Amino acid sequence: MVKKIGLLFFFLTFQLYAGSMGTVISSDYSWFAAIGTGFSWTEKPGIYNPDSTQWDPAIEGYDAHLGDRGFYTFAIGAKILEFMDIEISYLNHEVFNYQKFQTGEQSGQTAFTGNARTRFFQLDNRALLINSFLYPYQGLTSFKVNIKPFVSGGIGYAHNQVHNFYTVGTTTIANTSIGSTSSIGSAINANSFAWQGSAGLTITPIQSHLGINVGYRYFNGGKFNTSSTIYTNSNGIINTKNWSGYLKANQVFLEVLYWI
């Protein structure tokens, strides 16, 4: 999906350049639609062992990066003041992957998985945000193109789903490591508060319908949880305290806007 949007950007950017060379039309536009793409570099989500009587103690801990992923956005908005725009935007990430190798030989936990283990899950993130854009000044105009800085903030709602949660445990018997899937968790959904802060540049050919936003964004995609119902090889289906964390990412983004 992100690759397809990249091809669309190429076409729209060419049209933006061509528009700056063509007939001058009115620049008094109040509404816009936008399509965007970008890349997220995640921070550690802050996962920890919620109950050491149920989950294995681990020398390496439970926290791990979720990976770096692309995303795409759609938005509609309006200019409400000469120096301020507002918009409603939808953001959809590619699937994040958690993987954590752990060691620790203490046994007796409800979900004990052996002397060593690797834990996995996947995370889907989607968000709906209301954003405001402030333009401190009108920027610079050169070669019929206006470039002006912006700062933006937004709040909204995120839907996070954790799925494919499982653990591959390893036990050493007679100096031989034996591994198998030792626990599986069901998919779980969580709805959470999300927010973003960003800064960048708006590039607009004079009196054109098209424009570009390019910039940096800090994105907090809200809280996610793992399932509290786990199937284990040792004890069957059990109820445990679930893990939780927050999706946090540094992003770069590019948007193409069409004003009407």
Give the tens place of pLDDT for each residue, 162-194: 999 999 887 666 666 666 677 899 999 999 999
Q: How confident is the model at residue 108 (pLDDT cuts 50, 70, 90)?
A: low
Per-residue pLDDT at 13 exceeds 90: no
| pLDDT score for 126 | 99
Per-residue pLDDT at 138 exceeds 90: no
Q: What is the mean pLDDT of the chain?
A: 86
Per-residue pLDDT at 14 exceeds 90: no
The neighbouring-strand residues paired with 256 are 35, 212
| Range in 102-111, 145-154, 187-196 with the lowest mean pLDDT | 102-111
Q: Which residues contact 237 (CB under 8 A, 6 or more apart)?
A: 229, 230, 231
Span 64-74, average pLDDT: 97
pLDDT, tens only, 115-133: 788 999 999 999 999 999 9
d(CA 110, CA 113): 9
| pLDDT score for 114 | 66
The neighbouring-strand residues paired with 92 are 72, 126
| pLDDT score for 16 | 43
Q: What domains appear along the chain, each with residue ranges and CATH number? A: 2-259 (2.40.160.20)
Q: Which residue has the higher pLDDT, 230 or 19?
A: 230
Helix (H) or strand (E) holding 176: strand 176-185
Q: How confident is the model at residue 18 (pLDDT cuts 50, 70, 90)?
A: very low
* Cβ burial, residue 108 (10 Å; 0-12/13-18/19+): exposed
| pLDDT score for 254 | 98
| pLDDT score for 171 | 67
| Terminal-to-terminal C-alpha distance of the chain | 26
Segment 168-176 long-range contacts (CB within 8 Å, at least 24 positions apart): 168/117, 168/118, 168/120, 169/113, 169/114, 169/116, 169/117, 169/233, 170/114, 170/115, 170/116, 170/117, 170/118, 171/114, 171/115, 172/115
| pLDDT score for 56 | 86
Backbone angles phi, psi at 12, to 5 degrees: -65, -35
Per-residue pLDDT at 17 exceeds 50: no
* Cβ burial, residue 260 (10 Å; 0-12/13-18/19+): exposed
Percent of residues, the chain, with pLDDT higher than 70: 81
Q: How confident is the model at residue 140 (pLDDT cuts 50, 70, 90)?
A: confident
